[in-house]
Amino acid sequence: MPGSGSRTKQVISASRRTDIPAFYMDWFMESLSRGFFEVENPYSRTLLTIPVNPDNTHTLVFWSKNFGPFIQGGYGEKLTSMGYHLFFNFTINSDHPILEPHVPELSQRLKQLTFLCDRFDSKAITWRFDPICHYQVDKGREQNNLSDVQEIAEHAARAGIGRCVTSFVDLYTKVLARTGPDFSLVDIPRERKINLILSMENLLLPLGIRLFLCCEKEILMHLPKNSTVAKAACIPSQDLIKLFGQGISRAQDRGQRKNQGCGCGLSRDIGSYRFHPCYHNCLFCYANPREPRGYGHD
């Protein structure tokens, strides 16, 4: 808990709703220079104003599949020189042009991971392999996107990464609407999911990486008692306190999927589904519309 008389600071999530480091860092920096973010509530569409400065903000948590623009623009250095603490959720999945058509090649993403670890401390970075997808092409044999897990894990371990977060694809209606007879996502049985998670655990543990599950409460409940796999907190309040000191709430974020096993701490998400569309066009993404967007943005 914050000390007596201290002020609780906010954690800024940038963002679950889009990929700000890949597409919207100019907007992000302009908002910081104004001293506030204008954020649309995704349900009521009312605009909220979130004041932000180094005194009222404990940590900026960035989520991305492509930190290339963030790195090339020197934004991390600019933000730390302004007095902000940074934490990174970096999703690195296997190369897969159908599932993730507009992310950089794996080799580029691994170089980005190394850079972030060297520059900003590997303890402030979580590797997300998310989501695990099983699928069929032309109603053929079942396939998955796990082909590069070992390569990614070995590279992440060499870079000093100690956490991996994963989950299984959620087959939302709009996700299923993007598929058809030539390509379909498959929801595998629970027992197969458990065995797969235990296999990932056995791969990662010798490398010094602990596995966490995001919103997979049912699977966690059925893992063996000796398993080290734990509930994920992608906004990890305890880790942020260890890294950057006291000053934030330890409460869980009730706005997330707590009943499904989300362990995230409180944060203010400053992205927008409508005003900040993501152009990665990942087939499984809950933030995308039913139809894919054209690549590029104004």
Average the pLDDT over 2-18 and give the result.
80
Does the pLDDT at position 141 exceed 70? yes
On the 0-12 / 13-18 / 19+ scale of CB atoms within 10 A, 159 is: middle
- Judge whether 2 lies within some domain: no
Range of the domain at 191: 10-269
Q: What pLDDT is stored for residue 5 in this prediction?
A: 42
Q: What pLDDT is stored for residue 6 in this prediction?
A: 61
- Judge whether 280 lies within some domain: no
Q: What pLDDT is stored for residue 289 in this prediction?
A: 60
- Judge whether 18 lies within some domain: yes
The predicted model scores a pTM of 0.93
Does the pLDDT at position 214 exceed 60? yes
Confidence grade of residue 291 (pLDDT, cut at 50, 70, 90): low
What is the token pair recorded at 104?
Answer: 């950089």
DSSP notation for 119-178: HH-GGGEEEEEEEE-EEEETT-SEEES-TTHHHHHHHHHHHT--EEEEEEPP--HHHHHT
Q: What pLDDT is stored for residue 41 in this prediction?
A: 87
- Judge whether 274 lies within some domain: no
Of 118, 107, 120, 104, the closest CA to residue 67 belongs to 104
- Judge whether 63 lies within some domain: yes
- Judge whether 283 lies within some domain: no
Q: Which residues pair with 59 in a beta bridge?
A: 11
Confidence grade of residue 174 (pLDDT, cut at 50, 70, 90): confident
- Judge whether 298 lies within some domain: no
- In the chain, the percentage of residues whose pLDDT exceeds 90 is 83
- The total domain count for the chain is 1
- Judge whether 200 lies within some domain: yes
